[in-house]
Homo-oligomer: A and B are copies of this chain.
Amino acid sequence: MTRPVGAWRLQLRAGDAVELPEFLRIARAIAEDARSGRLAPGARLPGSRELADTLGVHRNTVLAAYRELSVEGFLETARGRGTFIASALPEVKAKRWLPASSQRPTRARLAARPGFDFPSTPAAIPFSPLPPRTLALYGGLPDTRLLPHDALARAYRRALRGRVDLLGYGDPQGELRLREALAQMLRVTRGLSVRADDLLITRGSQMALALLGRVLIRPGDRVAVEAYGYQPAWRALSEQQGVQRVPIAVDAEGLVVSELAAAHAERPVRAVYVTPHHQYPTTVTMSAARRMELLALARRERFAVIEDDYDHEFHYDGRPVLPLASADDGGNVAYVGTLSKSVAPGLRVGYLVAPEPVRKAALAARFDLDRQGDRVSEHALAELIEDGELQRHLWRTRRVYHARRDHFVRALREQLGHQLTFETPQGGMALWVRAARSLPIGAWHAEAARRGVLFQPGQLFRYDGRETQYARLGYAALDEGEQSTAIARLGEAAAALAGR
């Protein structure tokens, strides 16, 4: 609307600014007029009551606008004489924030090459968002569409509203409130006898592994890993100079402990990294016998067992197997968990449980990495647990993923049963399939990608990086309809190859 104020008319535009509180819209409109010159420096503004009447708003709104403008440097108030446009506008500052186009940077471009010796760099991770309508059968991706978004938003809002101090510095170990909630969860669902103080909250399990790589592994050490596994975990654990990784075979019972024993006898390993619950990527659940063997060996030979229990919650056939850590009396296990699968990867919340000296060393290392976690998300998460919201979410998603596993297995057998062989995993979010010679994985992957379906060839997970006829197909993030479409396209891709 436009209303006369003396000679000057204040125009309040609707549009993008409409989201702003009234007083800010008024303040901006006045600042705009001051910048454009419609209000000259030194010009006297109408009294707050007068402007309030003409705009049909409460006087306090106008006073708030004037206050805002004076702290921003647009107005000067002379006691008793009134309110004036500042003689020197904060024009410079204002200009500084104009679109880049209107700027003249000091130099054409940032120097492309460093002015100092620099080792050949590892290729940076190429990041490209999925093309629209692509269906990704990536392992370990939860379906974030199932999240209780309102509850999550409510929890964030409360954390932000309630506690100004959450935006300040906090406990590098993680917010006590979240550690208490998680400790209880671990006690009652995983048989871990832990208290809040036994936990270190990290940025996802990746940071927990990076910390262990720093405090457990010394330069020149040997670290045993599963011969099929997760490369970023391997890198995190062998980051120190000259660390040697020792791949250990995995079979239908999980890690082949006898092979580990042999490798250790040859030359001692400092630690072994395992994923016993649902081996990554083969989905195998480690047998009870192997578990006992492994713990006994570690205890006798005094090496560390790094247990990555990344998707404990998603076990469908029978009860989840308790982690190695729950049976570890010797203090050999460093236990790593995450909320990336059970809640969302984007939250970047994981945790480490380990004997005190290890935990303290990890805490010190963590402080030097990023000081502390995200206190707001940590409180929001704690609230979701306290309210039982997370538990309900887990019950819900467990059922949903269970059904999706069964549907995926059925549809895959119908569609590609003659070319794919696989075991139905007891839990997790993916299948590990073996393709017949007639279906070369590499070519199949390419054909599928052309049809808008992505999956992960086994080669990605193989220690020696060699080609393999295995592939990992994640099913949890796709609903039944999407699964059927994806599998149909996989079938077309296979047919296209056969047709050649």
Contact = CB atoms under 8 A, between A and B. Distances in A.
Interface of A: 19-21, 68, 71-73, 90, 93, 95-100, 103, 105-119, 121-125, 127, 141, 144-145, 147, 149-150, 152-154, 156-157, 160-161, 164-173, 183-185, 187-189, 191-194, 198, 202-204, 206-207, 210, 215-216, 218-219, 232, 235-236, 239-241, 270-271, 298-299, 302-304, 322, 326-332, 343-348, 353-358, 360-361, 363-364, 367-377, 387-388, 391-392, 395-396, 399
A363 B123 CA distance: 9
A398 B364 CA distance: 34
A344 B374 CA distance: 11
Contact of A210 (B103, B169, B368): B368
Given A110-B355, A111-B331, A167 B346 contact: yes
A97 to B, nearest CB: 5
A395 B116 contact: no
Contacts of A218: 119
Given A173-B127, A368-B232, A376-B346, A193 B107 contact: yes
A113 B374 contact: no
A114 B304 contact: yes
A210 B366 CA distance: 10
A369 B188 contact: no
A356 B112 CA distance: 6
Copies of this chain assembled into the complex: 2
B368 A348 contact: no
A302 B98 contact: no
Contact of A368 (B156, B160, B235): B235
B370 A370 contact: yes
A244 to B, nearest CB: 16
A110 B358 CA distance: 13
A315 B200 CA distance: 38
B370 A329 contact: no
A302 B353 contact: no
A331 B346 CA distance: 34
Contact of A302 (B117, B161, B173, B219): B117
5 contacts: A72-B395, A97-B185, A113-B357, A170-B346, A345-B371
B105 A193 contact: yes
Contact of A122 (B330, B364, B371): B364
A71 B194 contact: no
B358 A114 contact: yes
A292 to B, nearest CB: 15
Given A118-B357, A219-B241, A346 B71 contact: no
Given A184-B100, A188-B98, A206-B368, A355 B112 contact: yes
Contacts of A144: 164-165, 167-168
Contacts of A114: 304, 331-332, 354-355, 357-358
Contacts of A165: 144
Given A127-B172, A149-B161, A202-B370, 10 more contacts: A105-B192, A107-B329, A141-B169, A144-B164, A156-B156, A166-B346, A168-B344, A169-B346, A219-B219, A241-B241
